């Protein structure tokens, strides 16, 4: 069977305050910077792939955000909340895509390579994206993708061990990871 989840708000004492959206198989919910919308990758069980959904918290409404038949997952909000970054394997490789949070326009491919590439953070100044990539030789590594200039990614933490879930400190000076 599948593992269905329910997005739920809790207070600091652990008391449930309410739910968000329907129960589903989900992986990586992300709250928008203004706290008004939750983006989440939700499994389309008949199709067997993930799509992104947006849940408007004030209206209690959810809407499908991506419509590609491949996997669209691991949403990350831009610092101003205007765009959503995510991973998709629509070309046969897992690439990083971004899309306007309004849903208008095309999904823009920013970067793709071999292995599984998953976004984990976007710097507060909007200049860089942090992502993980699984390489055959070094396992899971943390990479940086500049969003200006030549936009050439470079490894931040690449060892024989697995490094995952890279997140920047609010001032952008430090990075935490699961190693």
Confidence (pLDDT) at 2: 62
Closest CA relative to residue 133, chosen from 146, 123, 124, 120: 120
| Tally of residues, the chain | 179
- With a pLDDT cut of 70, the percent of the chain lying above it is 98
Rounded Cα distance between 117 and 131, Å, is 7
CB 90 within 8 A of CB 68: yes
Confidence (pLDDT) at 25: 93
Closest CA relative to residue 157, chosen from 148, 166, 149: 166
Rounded Cα distance between 165 and 176, Å, is 8
pLDDT beyond 60 at 1: no
Confidence (pLDDT) at 102: 93
Residue range 74-86, pLDDT digits in tens:
999 999 999 999 9
Residue range 127-176, pLDDT digits in tens:
999 999 987 677 788 999 999 999 999 988 887 788 888 899 988 888 88
Confidence (pLDDT) at 136: 65
């Amino acid at each position: 069977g599948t593992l269905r989840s329910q997005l739920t708000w809790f207070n600091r004492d652990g008391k449930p305050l309410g739910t968000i959206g329907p129960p589903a198989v989900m992986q990586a919910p992300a709250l928008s910077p203004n706290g008004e919308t939750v983006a989440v990758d939700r499994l389309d069980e008949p199709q067997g792939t993930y799509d992104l959904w947006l849940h408007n918290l004030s209206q209690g409404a959810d809407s499908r955000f991506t419509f590609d038949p491949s996997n669209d997952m691991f949403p990350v909000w831009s610092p101003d909340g205007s765009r959503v970054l995510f991973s998709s394997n629509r070309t046969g490789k897992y690439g990083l895509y971004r899309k306007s949070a309004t849903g208008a326009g095309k999904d823009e491919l920013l970067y793709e390579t071999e292995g599984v590439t998953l976004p984990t953070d976007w710097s507060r100044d909007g200049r860089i994206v942090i992502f993980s990539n699984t390489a055959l030789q070094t396992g899971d590594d943390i990479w940086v993708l500049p969003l200006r200039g030549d936009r050439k990614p470079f490894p931040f933490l690449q060892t024989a061990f697995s490094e995952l879930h890279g997140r920047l400190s609010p001032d952008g000076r430090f990075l935490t990871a699961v190693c």
